[in-house]
Amino acid sequence: MKKIEAVFLTDLIKNSSTSKYDIKIMETVNGTLLGFHQWTNGKQTVAGFEITRVDSDTSYYFLFIDWHRNDNYYLVIYLHNKSTTAAELRVIEEIEGIPHIVWMYNPLKRDGKNDQRKAYFKQMFGSRKVHIEFPASTLDIERFFDQLFRLCQNRIKADKVVEVFDFEK
């Protein structure tokens, strides 16, 4: 996404009010997050948030960051323990005149079971491609968070499916 789109989204989040989610703004210094994670150090960051879904106490970090240092900003969602990312979103497409963030489930595990993960994700969630409507106002932020939290939870389930089911039999 372009920096202007990342700035627009972060402004909506900063100015939104929702009882369903607790939003904490993370401190940036000279446009970077200090000491957050080795993958983020020194990268330009528009904003960072710790978002917690109040009813389930589930939290993620949402970073709007120049992930590959090429002026292409991502919404990178980290697990709360910062062990890895749950999603890296950057593609914006117009669908029937409305901008959507588009994300494709594409596991890159090195255990030879990614085809099973992809098949599970597609079967359970309808498609490997996820479309999330780009919020137009602060009134859309809660629905936006709902969709992002669902995406992260579905991705985690699909990643772990080979631990639950034995596909070898």
Q: Range of 157's domain?
A: 3-164
Pairwise CA distance, residues 159 & 168, whole Å: 17
Residue 169 in domain: no
How many independent structural domains does the chain possess? 1
Express each pLDDT in 24-57 by its tens digit: 999 999 999 989 999 999 999 999 999 999 999 9
Residue 26 in domain: yes
Reduce the secondary structure of 35-51 to three states and give it as a string: CCCCCCCCCCEEEEEEE
Residue 12 in domain: yes
Residue 19 in domain: yes
Residue 134 in domain: yes
Residue 28 in domain: yes
- Residue 162, pLDDT > 90, answer no
Express each pLDDT in 98-108 by its tens digit: 999 999 999 99
